[in-house]
């Protein structure tokens, strides 16, 4: 099956040899998003809540560029440098997703690119 890259200037450009997302059939695989400002490419200031919001905003922009929305997301992966931030991320995520919620995994990692404290990736299925 063919792979179709997805790109938008409403989310940060890839910082390596990958696409913001790739569509294959009706499935869109969204690369990880950290709290980079799409205009400057710099990590935004602020703690976990601010970084989670920017990362989810970036993810939302890529979903829209692929012809979908966060409502079409079936799975998200969350990566935190401190699982102590789990509750704060849940609160932010609740502002972006509604029931029925996507499947999810949450993993504590030792570090993320550019010194971010949060990253999110996702899989979206379009009708």
- The pLDDT of residue 1 is 79
For every one of its 127 residues, what pLDDT tens digit does the chain have, with 9 covering 90 and above?
A: 799 999 999 999 998 999 999 999 999 999 999 999 999 999 999 999 999 999 999 999 999 999 999 999 999 999 999 999 999 999 999 999 999 999 999 999 999 999 999 999 999 999 9
Q: What sign has the CA pseudo-torsion 104, 109, 112, 117?
A: positive
Rounded CA-CA distance 23/26 in Å is 7
Give the domain ranges of the chain: 4-125
The dotted CATH code for 4-125 is: 3.30.1330.40
- The pLDDT of residue 106 is 98
- The pLDDT of residue 15 is 85
């Amino acid at each position: 099956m063919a792979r179709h890259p997805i790109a938008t200037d409403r989310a940060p450009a890839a910082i390596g040899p990958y696409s913001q997302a790739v569509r294959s059939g009706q499935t869109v695989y969204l690369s990880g998003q950290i709290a980079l400002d799409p205009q400057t490419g710099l990590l935004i200031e602020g703690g976990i809540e601010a970084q989670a919001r920017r990362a989810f905003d970036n993810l939302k922009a890529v979903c829209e560029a692929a012809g979908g929305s966060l409502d079409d997301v079936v799975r998200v992966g969350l990566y935190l440098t401190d699982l102590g931030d789990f509750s704060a991320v849940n609160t932010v995520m609740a502002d972006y997703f509604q029931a029925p919620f996507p499947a999810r995994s949450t993993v504590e990692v030792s570090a993320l690119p550019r010194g971010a404290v949060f990253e999110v990736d996702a899989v979206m299925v379009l009708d």
